[in-house]
Amino acid sequence: MTNHWIDIQHADVILCIGSNPAENHPISFKYVEKAMDNGARLISVDPRYTRTSSKADTYAQLRPGTDIAFIGGMINHILQNDLIHRDYVVNYTNASFLISDEYAFNDGIFSGYDAETFHYENDSWAYQLGKDGLPLRDNTLEHPASVYQLLKNHYRRYTPEKVCEITGTAIQDYMEVTRTFCATGRPDRVATIMYAMGTTQHTYGTQNVRSYAMLQLLLGNIGMAGGGINALRGEANVQGSTDYAILYHILPGYLKSPVFDNVSLAAYNEKWTPKTKDPKSANWWANTPKYMASLLKAYWGDAATAENGFCYDYLPKRSGNYSFIKLMERLQQGRFEGLVCMGTNPIVGGPDASAIAKGLDKLQWMVAADLWETETSVFWKRPGVDPKTIDTEVFLLPAAASVEKEGSISNSGRWAQWRYKAVEPPGDAESDAFIVDGLVKNLKALYAEGGVFPGPIVDLDWNYGQGHEPDIAMVARECNGQFTRDTEIKGKLYKKGEQVPSFAFLQDDGATTSGNWLYCGSYTEAGNMMQRRGQDDPTGMGSYHNWSWCWPVNRRVLYNRASVDLNGRPWNPKKPVIAWNALTRKWEGDVPDGGWAPMSEDGTKHPFIMIAEGHARLFAAGLADGPMPEHYEPMESPVANSMTGQQCNPAVAIPGNIDNSGRYPYIGTTYRVSEHWQAGAMTRNLPWLVELVPEMFVEISEELAKWKGIANGEMVTISSPRGTIEAKALVTARIKPLRVGGKMIEQVGLPWHFGFNGLATGGSANVLTTAVGCANTSIPEYKAFLCNLEKGGIKA
C-alpha cells in the first residue's frame, strides 16, 4: 500500500476493484465504514455481487479480465473533460515529457515487438533528450510527442459505449462510477483504490495495476491522505515475505537478483544502478551499491571483503524465469530430485493443479513442513492413483503456528509489528526458524567435509545464539544492520558492532551489514522499533508514528511530498500529510520523502524519489508489455477482442492446453470466502468452519440454471481442457450473465478452497485453471478461463 489501513478513513471516494475486502480483509472494512460515516462514497467493481458490493453506494459489474477497458474509459473521460489536477500532473508526473518519434502503436501492438520471441525492445519508448541529457518537456502539455498527448490519443478509443461493449457493464452504472471517481481531481477531494487478486491474476495483471495508478496520478491522488493505490496483501505477512525476497527476481529490499551476465559486483552495480543527469533528482536507487555490499556482508560476514567483491560470486545467477509456473513445468519434466514445501499446498493452490500433482510423482523425495497434513503431502494417495506406483519418500515436519513463535510480521500498510509467543507448539512441532537453522547447520557440517563449491555454505555467517532455536531478536538486528568497524559519518563516530541508525548510513565499502536495507532503522541502538506500542497520534491523522515501525524510515504515506504544492503547502489543508514550516524550515507531519525544501526553492529534489527522473510515470518504459495499458482478452475468452486485432497480451506466449474453440462456452472465475482460508488446510480441518461452509459449490446465474434445468443445491460437473470437477450448484442473483458485443455470456464462480484431504473435502477449482501468467510477474491467470458446466455429478 502507498498508504495504510487507518488512512483509508480520510477518503472521499473508495473504489474497491478486483478486491472484496468485506470478505477477505474484514478488519480493513472498519476504516472503509469510518470514511462512509464521514460521507465517503464506496464503489464496488466486480464480476460478482459480493459482500463488499452489498455495502457499496454504487456497484458496477464487469466481465473478468476487462479492467483496462474499464479504467481506460475513465482515463479518457478525465482527458476529454479536462478533469486532471493540472498543477500536480505538470509538476509531479511525466505528462510533459516528450517521447521518441520512433514510438508507435498499431492495432494492439507497440513499437519494438518481435512476434517470434513475444518480446519488446523498448528503445522507441524512451524520452527525447536535450543536449544536457535531460528529458525534453512541454509544460503546456500541447506537444504531440508529450506523454499527455500520447495518452489522450491512446485512450480516445475507449468511449463509454466501446468500454461497456467489452466489459458488459450497464452504461448508467459505468457513468455513475466514472463521474463519482473522476470528480476527485480537485485538490480538496481525494479517492483511494483498494485492489487485490481480481486485479493481478491476469496475463496483464501488472498493466491492470498500472491503469489504476495512472488514474490516481491524473487526479493528483497519490501521496495524499485518503488517497493512493492500495494493494490489499493476502496472508498476514505477505508484504514482509515480498520485502524479504520470496520472489525469484529480487533480493531483500527489492534489489535485483543477479542475472548470468552480471559477472562481478562491479558489473552488477553498473547494470542495476539507475543514473540521472538531473540535479533535482534524488534517484534513490543510486544507493544500490551500498545496499548490495551491506547485504553481502550480512550473508558472508568476515569472508566478504572488498577484494573478493564481498563474495558476490557466491550468489546464484539466473537466466530465465523461475516463477512458480515455470518451476512446476520443470517439475513435470522430472527435472527435480527433491522438493521442500514449507507452508504451501500447491496441488490445491497452483494453476492446472492435476498436472502439478503428476509432477510430484517424479520426485525422489519431498519435505513438507506444515501445521496439517495437506493434499500436497499426501499427493501419493490422491483419488485415482495407486500409491504403490509412486516411489517418492515424503518427510512431514510438524510446524509451529504463528501464535507459537516470536517475530515480526509486516502488514499491507508496511507496518512491521512484533509478535510474541503465546503458547508452546504442541507435540514435536517446531518453528520454521528451527527447521531452517537445523538444515543450514547440517549442510555446513557436510560441506565442511568437502563438496562442489562449498564456499557459499561454509562461509555463510550464521550465528543466532546457542538456544534451542535461533534467537529471533538477533535475526532482526542483522536485518537492520551493524557497523563492522569504527566508522565516522558526518563527524559522528559509530563503534564497531553498533546498530546502523538508518539506511542513509549504509556504506559500500564493507563498513556496514544490513540484511535488508528497507528495514534499516527497525532495530537501532534504541531497541526494537517494531515492538513499540505508543498510542499517541501527534499528527492527528491516525498515523501513530510510535506504534510499531514501518518502512521506509517510519514514513506512513509514500510519495507524501506530492501531497503539497510547490511551496510546500498541502493541496488539501484539511487533511495534511506533511506541511513546510517556513520559520523552522522543516517539514511537519509524516516523515517526508526526503527532507529537501519545497519545489519552489533551490537545491531541492522532485517528489518521486525512487524514479530516476523524479516524476511519476504515466508512460513507463520499464514493463515487458508496453508503456501504456491496452485492453487484451484473457488467454481463454469467449469473445474476440473488439478493441484491436490483437487478441491476447502479445508479450505472453500462448500455452498449449487452452481451448478457444467454443467447446467451453462459460467464463470461469475463482475467489475466496470468509469462512475458508486459501488451499483450505487451516479451515477445512476445523469443525465449526466446516459446519458453515461444508462443501465445494459453484455459483451460477438464475438464467443459466433455468436454461440447463439445474435446481439450487443440485450436483453439477464443471470441465475445462485441464480437467473436470463436480460441485453443488448455488443458483444466485449475485451472478448475472453479461451482454458482451451483443451476445449474452455466462460466468461461473468457483471458490478455490477445496481438496481431497481433511475434514471437509471437495473438488479443487484449480483442476480447471490455466498455467499461464502475467507478462511481468508470471502470476497465474486464475481469474479468467473457459469452462463448461453440465447438470449431474461426474458419475451421473
Residue numbers of the site for ligand MGD (CB under 6 A)? 17-20, 24-25, 45-48, 50, 62, 64-65, 67, 196-198, 201, 232, 234-235, 342-346, 349, 369-372, 374, 399, 401-402, 432, 669-672, 674, 676-679, 681-682, 752, 765-766, 769, 782-783
Report how many residues bind Mo ion under the rule CB under 5 A.
Answer: 1
Q: Which does 769 bind (CB under 5 to 8 A by kind): ligand MGD, Mo ion, none?
A: ligand MGD
Number of Cβ atoms within 10 Å of the Cβ of 675: 18
513 to 304, 480, 496, 506, 517: CA distances (angstroms)? 10, 8, 11, 8, 9
160 binding Mo ion? (CB under 5 A) = no
**Site map (CB under 5 A) of Mo ion, residues 613-642, x = contact:** ------------------------------
Number of Cβ atoms within 10 Å of the Cβ of 454: 15
Which of 768, 621, 759, 733 minimizes the C-alpha distance to 680? Answer: 759
- Report which secondary-structure segment, H or E, holds 80: helix 67-80
Question: Considering beta carbons, is residue 631 or 676 the nearer one to ligand MGD?
Answer: 676
Task: In whole angstroms, give the CA distance from residue 784 to residue 200.
Answer: 11
| Least distance between ligand MGD and beta carbon 783 (Å) | 4
Question: Considering beta carbons, is residue 234 or 455 the nearer one to Mo ion?
Answer: 234
Task: In whole angstroms, give the CA distance from residue 44 to residue 13.
Answer: 11
Q: Which does 629 bind (CB under 5 to 8 A by kind): ligand MGD, Mo ion, none?
A: none
Q: Which does 315 bind (CB under 5 to 8 A by kind): ligand MGD, Mo ion, none?
A: none
Q: Which does 64 bind (CB under 5 to 8 A by kind): Mo ion, ligand MGD, none?
A: ligand MGD
Whether the ω angle into residue 26 lies within 30 degrees of 0, i.e. cis, is no
Which of 757, 687, 753 minimizes the C-alpha distance to 396? Answer: 757
Question: Considering beta carbons, is residue 499 or 669 the nearer one to ligand MGD?
Answer: 669
Q: Which does 505 bind (CB under 5 to 8 A by kind): ligand MGD, Mo ion, none?
A: none
| Least distance between Mo ion and beta carbon 108 (Å) | 30
* Residues in the chain, total: 796
| Least distance between ligand MGD and beta carbon 376 (Å) | 8
Which of 66, 15, 36, 24 minimizes the C-alpha distance to 195? Answer: 15
Q: Which does 111 bind (CB under 5 to 8 A by kind): Mo ion, ligand MGD, none?
A: none
| Least distance between ligand MGD and beta carbon 307 (Å) | 39
| Least distance between ligand MGD and beta carbon 449 (Å) | 29
Question: Considering beta carbons, is residue 336 or 677 the nearer one to ligand MGD?
Answer: 677
Question: Considering beta carbons, is residue 678 or 724 the nearer one to Mo ion?
Answer: 678
| Least distance between ligand MGD and beta carbon 759 (Å) | 13
Phi then psi for residue 415, to 5 deg, are -80, 120
Task: In whole angstroms, give the CA distance from residue 395 to residue 398.
Answer: 10
| Least distance between ligand MGD and beta carbon 648 (Å) | 14
Question: Considering beta carbons, is residue 46 or 726 the nearer one to ligand MGD?
Answer: 46
| Least distance between ligand MGD and beta carbon 369 (Å) | 4
| Least distance between ligand MGD and beta carbon 345 (Å) | 4
Residues forming beta bridges with residue 790, ordered by sequence position = 717
Q: Which does 198 bind (CB under 5 to 8 A by kind): Mo ion, ligand MGD, none?
A: ligand MGD
Question: Considering beta carbons, is residue 120 or 372 the nearer one to ligand MGD?
Answer: 372
Question: Considering beta carbons, is residue 197 or 369 the nearer one to Mo ion?
Answer: 197
Q: Which does 258 bind (CB under 5 to 8 A by kind): Mo ion, ligand MGD, none?
A: none
| Least distance between ligand MGD and beta carbon 347 (Å) | 9
Q: Which does 50 bind (CB under 5 to 8 A by kind): Mo ion, ligand MGD, none?
A: ligand MGD
Task: In whole angstroms, give the CA distance from residue 796 to residue 791.
Answer: 9
Question: Considering beta carbons, is residue 27 or 115 the nearer one to Mo ion?
Answer: 27
Q: Which residue, judged by CB position, is nearest to Mo ion in the bound state?
A: 234
Task: In whole angstroms, give the CA distance from residue 450 to residue 159.
Answer: 67
Question: Considering beta carbons, is residue 352 or 459 the nearer one to ligand MGD?
Answer: 352
Q: Which does 200 bind (CB under 5 to 8 A by kind): ligand MGD, Mo ion, none?
A: none
Task: In whole angstroms, give the CA distance from residue 668 to residue 660.
Answer: 13
| Least distance between Mo ion and beta carbon 387 (Å) | 31
Task: In whole angstroms, give the CA distance from residue 427 to residue 196.
Answer: 37
Exposed e or buried b per residue across 632-664, where buried means at least 16 C-beta atoms within 10 angstroms of its C-beta: bbbbbbbbebebeebbbbbbbeebeebbbeeeb
CB under 8 Å to 338, separation ≥6 — which residues? Answer: 363, 364, 365, 366, 367
Question: Considering beta carbons, is residue 256 or 358 the nearer one to ligand MGD?
Answer: 358
Task: In whole angstroms, give the CA distance from residue 619 to residue 536.
Answer: 41
Q: Which does 605 bind (CB under 5 to 8 A by kind): ligand MGD, Mo ion, none?
A: none
Burial of 679: CB neighbours in 10 Å, binned 0-12, 13-18, 19+: buried
Find the binding residues for Mo ion in span 282-341 (CB under 5 A). none
Task: In whole angstroms, give the CA distance from residue 283 to residue 162.
Answer: 40
Find the binding residues for Mo ion in span 208-267 (CB under 5 A). 234
Which of 235, 199, 209 minimizes the C-alpha distance to 64? Answer: 199
580 to 93, 179, 571, 606: CA distances (angstroms)? 21, 33, 12, 15
| Least distance between Mo ion and beta carbon 773 (Å) | 14
Question: Considering beta carbons, is residue 368 or 557 the nearer one to ligand MGD?
Answer: 368
Q: Which does 432 bind (CB under 5 to 8 A by kind): Mo ion, ligand MGD, none?
A: ligand MGD
Question: Considering beta carbons, is residue 632 or 782 the nearer one to ligand MGD?
Answer: 782
Which of 729, 696, 732, 693 minimizes the C-alpha distance to 714? Answer: 729
| Least distance between ligand MGD and beta carbon 300 (Å) | 27
Task: In whole angstroms, give the CA distance from residue 549 to residue 560.
Answer: 17
Question: Considering beta carbons, is residue 411 or 514 the nearer one to ligand MGD?
Answer: 411
Task: In whole angstroms, give the CA distance from residue 103 to residue 128.
Answer: 11
Sign (positive or negative) of CA dihedral 733, 735, 741, 743:
negative
| Least distance between ligand MGD and beta carbon 197 (Å) | 3
**Binding residues for Mo ion, per CB under 5 A?**
234
